[in-house]
Amino acid sequence: MAQPESTSTRDTRAASPLDVTAIRREFPILDVRIGNKPLIYLDNAATTHKPQAVIDAVQRFYMLQNANIHRGVHYLSQQATDAYEQARIRIGQFFNAPSSDEIIFVRGTTEGINLVAHSWGSKNLREGDEILITEMEHHANIVPWQLVAERTGAVLRVAPITDDGELDLDAFRARLSDKTRLVAVAHVSNALGTVNPVREIVAAARAAGALVLLDGAQSAPHMPVDLQKLDCDFFVCSGHKMYGPTGIGILWGRMELLEAMPPYEGGGDMIEWVTFEKTTFKAPPTRFEAGTPHIAGAIGLGAAVDFLERVGRPALAAHEEAITAYAVEQLGRVEGLSIVGRPRHRAGAISFVLEGVHPHDIGTILDSEGVAIRAGHHCAQPLMRRLGLNATARASFGLYNKREEVDALVAALDKVRAMFG
């Protein structure tokens, strides 16, 4: 990964140590053409593409190692178990978890949050206790808390954002009290790209005696995540947004919390001993992985973190920051276009609206130019309501995006404007 991507702006040139051309060659799907146009994929916040190394790891599992894990004494079962548990270890190291036993394989961010809400929430929340979230949360970090609040009598409180799309830290602090049991916050907003000030959030929550869950769906793909430095209590993310397979993600939790949590689902593998009268459960992480897990997915996610390590997260973060800054600058030049939110620290995503054109029409016309973006409420309806919008168009970037693709987006937006004249 030696040569900088060729660029014409000073900032981008200074901060793009990735060999993007070489990286792009590792992603077979980037050669797909949309009609007669090259694919310009700017929907990375929804899901990222997969490098050959991840595709190969999944294929190798099914071709050479396939068996169920943990239960078999035969050769293949041991191979599969080793590969699955090795992936857990590598993912633990990738996030600098104190122990890989704190890494629980789940379907993704959504299941991770539901697991905590269900297991930790049902055991620890009482009538009048409070859960604090923010106005910029994805539905996955709202609805599970509403459900557990209904069951337990706990109260869901919401910290507001500023007009720039940042968390209003003073208002956040003001909503913390000795009733707050848990703060659940997006590390990075999927709709606005805002990077939240985790250090301040964790410090304020700790001072109030509350735990912190970070929704890392949009941070894990874009920046180094060091769980010991972040000092949160739970962290969740999705493999498919970080160049890994769909259907797999992780929940990390502090061991003393996980050990005190009841099972989320019951079934095979998570038990020590079952009688019809009583069942005893294994320790974490197995306690929370009932039934046959997504073995190939976990192995594929292991390959994805190896890929990200090889590329280097500081370098990819710098590259994406430069591309995103360039996109903000170029989109700002499109007549009638407004960028939604002006966070000081942004990662990955830019939401925008175009005067007189519905975001879905923008998305459809861009598609005919080979440009894939997302249009809609981005699973953040309360945020849209706060912003006085029904929907936005969103361009989101990954490590394989290049400056020329931003130029193609802008050119396609000029066509949209011309059509709606």
Q: Of the ranges 108-116, 167-175, 194-202, 410-418, which one interacts with ligand PMP (CB under 6 A)?
A: 108-116
Q: Minimum CB separation from ligand PMP for residue 88, in Å?
A: 19
Task: For 103-129, give the DSSP string.
Answer: EEEESSHHHHHHHIIIIIIHHH--TT-
Task: For 299-334, give the DSSP string.
Answer: HHHHHHHHHHHHH-HHHHHHHHHHHHHHHHHHHTTS
Q: Minimum CB separation from ligand PMP for residue 336, in Å?
A: 28
218 binds ligand PMP (CB under 6 A): yes
Q: How far apart are CA 119 and CA 113, in angstroms?
A: 10
Distances (CA, A) of 168 to 159, 162, 172: 7, 6, 6
Q: Which is nearer to ligand PMP, 108 or 284 (CB)?
A: 108
Q: Which is nearer to ligand PMP, 214 or 331 (CB)?
A: 214
Q: Of the ranges 53-61, 135-143, 331-339, 350-358, which one interacts with ligand PMP (CB under 6 A)?
A: 135-143
Ranges within 307-326 binding ligand PMP (CB under 6 A): none
Q: How far apart are CA 316 and CA 294, in angstroms?
A: 28
220 binds ligand PMP (CB under 6 A): no
138 binds ligand PMP (CB under 6 A): yes
Q: Of the ranges 59-67, 134-142, 194-202, 265-273, which one interacts with ligand PMP (CB under 6 A)?
A: 134-142
**In 3D, which of 136, 93, 154, 203 has the Cα closest to residue 346?**
136
190 binds ligand PMP (CB under 6 A): yes
Judged by CB under 6 A, how many residues of this single chain contact ligand PMP? 14
Q: Minimum CB separation from ligand PMP for residue 260, in Å?
A: 25
Angle formed at CA 177 by CA 171 and CA 180, multiple of 5 degrees:
105
Ranges within 228-247 binding ligand PMP (CB under 6 A): 238
Binds ligand PMP by CB under 6 A, chosen from 16, 81, 100, 109: 109
Q: How far apart are CA 66 and CA 389, in angstroms?
A: 48
End-to-end CA distance of the chain: 44
Ranges within 6-65 binding ligand PMP (CB under 6 A): 45
Q: Which is nearer to ligand PMP, 140 or 413 (CB)?
A: 140
Catalytically active residues are 379
Binds ligand PMP by CB under 6 A, chosen from 51, 108, 121, 221: 108
Angle formed at CA 221 by CA 217 and CA 222, multiple of 5 degrees:
110
Phi then psi dihedrals of residue 276, to 5 deg: -65, -20
Q: At what angle do helices 75-94 and 295-311 cross, to 10 degrees?
A: 40
Q: Minimum CB separation from ligand PMP for residue 389, in Å?
A: 18
The secondary structure of residue 336, as a DSSP letter, is T
Ranges within 334-363 binding ligand PMP (CB under 6 A): none
140 binds ligand PMP (CB under 6 A): yes
396 binds ligand PMP (CB under 6 A): no
Structure tokens, 161 = 């954002």
Q: Of the ranges 11-19, 213-221, 270-278, 337-345, which one interacts with ligand PMP (CB under 6 A)?
A: 213-221
186 binds ligand PMP (CB under 6 A): yes
SS3 content of the chain, % helix, strand, coil (to 5): 45, 20, 40
Q: How many other C-beta atoms are found inside a 10 Å radius of the C-beta of residue 355?
A: 10
Q: Minimum CB separation from ligand PMP for residue 281, in Å?
A: 25
Q: Minimum CB separation from ligand PMP for residue 10, in Å?
A: 32
Q: Minimum CB separation from ligand PMP for residue 199, in Å?
A: 19
Element containing residue 280 per DSSP (H, E): strand 279-281
Structure tokens, 80 = 């599969």
> Site residues (CB under 6 A) for ligand PMP?
45, 108-110, 138, 140-141, 186, 190, 215, 217-218, 238, 379
